[in-house]
Structure 1
Amino acid sequence: MALHHIYLIIHLLTAAIWVGGHLILVIGFLPKALKNNDFSYIQKFEKTYEPIGMPSLLLLVITGILMAYNFGSGIGTWFSFSSSIETVVSLKITCLLISVCFAISAQTRVLPQLRKGNIKKLPEMAFHIISVTTLGVIMVILGSFVRYGGINL
């Protein structure tokens, strides 16, 4: 089995954990939190999910970068949209960077307020969660294009 194939398997498994976890949060926990105006639903999920979710995200990023390099799309070519595979890589990195911005916003602005009991921030937190989940699904879809040679813009 080629090293690239091992990277791909790890990438797919960690994507399933990362995106799947967010889908469970959006579909299973967020509606209850919003309906009951209760942040604890989200907190309980995150306490269970984060110990596996965050390492999965780290492995996801590492294997994604390694596979990008295997495809000849090193950091020097990112955002050049010079090939169909590099276009997928650049679009996925863009989604990742936007997700990081949402995470920073949630960690620095929204979560501290919710932890202090400011439940009025719950809809904003829901927006952050739905946005990161949507970006994760988009990244999965973008990754599927590699199988067919990438995306030509």
Structure 2
Amino acid sequence: MYQLMLILHVLGATVWTGGHLVLAITILPQALRRRDAELILSFESRYERVGIPALVIQVVTGIWLAFRMLPDPAAWFGFETDVASHIGVKLLLLLLTAAFAVDARMRIIPHLRAETLPSLAWHIIPVTIFSVLFVVVGVGLGTGGIL
């Protein structure tokens, strides 16, 4: 069961991080240059069909994996061991991702136009960085720790 959960977790991370890298590196610069919000909206509408399920899979499998590695959730934010530190950092990254996503979804995307593209960029770039950090921290956890 562990291997299946880890595979699903990594596949979810691949979709989530890959999608955000494509958005941040190719779509966003093009949209900003052209001042064309539709490029972002078009990408988002297609990507969310796979991106959101990938994120849900990561959250579910991540919690399962965290319980398996450290059965006491109170210890997840204790930062007293390498495992606890990695789990705690990943949960903090998840909270930051959720905060940026909710803010963008509620405040910016409903009114997205050329003038508001820079505000959205200030959300896309951090979420992309968080997604890469998720991978880095996860690999660190699986290879002996980086924290």
TM-score (norm 2): 0.95
Look up the match of 2:13.
15
Find out whether 1:122 has 2:117 as its counterpart: yes
- Matched with 1:136 is 131
Q: Unpaired segments of 5 or more residues in structure 1?
A: none
Aligned residue for 1:150? 145
CA contact (8 A) 1:33 1:41 kept: yes
Quick one: which amino acid aligns to residue 137 of structure 1? V
CA 10–63 in structure 1, closer or farther in 2 if over 3 Å, else same: same
Q: Specify the alignment match of 1:44 in structure 2.
A: 42
The count of aligned residue pairs is 147
Task: State the distance in 2 between where 1:25 and 1:108 align.
Answer: 19
Contact kept in structure 2, 1:7 and 1:63, CA below 8 Å: yes
CA-atom RMSD in angstroms: 1.2
Segments of 5+ residues of structure 2 without an aligned counterpart are none
Which among 75, 91, 94 is matched to residue 93 of structure 1?
Answer: 91
Quick one: distance in 2 between partners of 1:100 and 1:43?
19
Other-structure match for 1:28:
26
Identity %: 38
Cα offsets for 1:95-130 (capped at 9, x unmatched): 11001110111011111221xx4x321101011011
Q: Measure how far apart 1:60 and its partner are.
A: 0.5
> TM (normalized to structure 1)?
0.91
> Is the 1:85–1:151 Cα contact (8 Å) retained in structure 2?
no
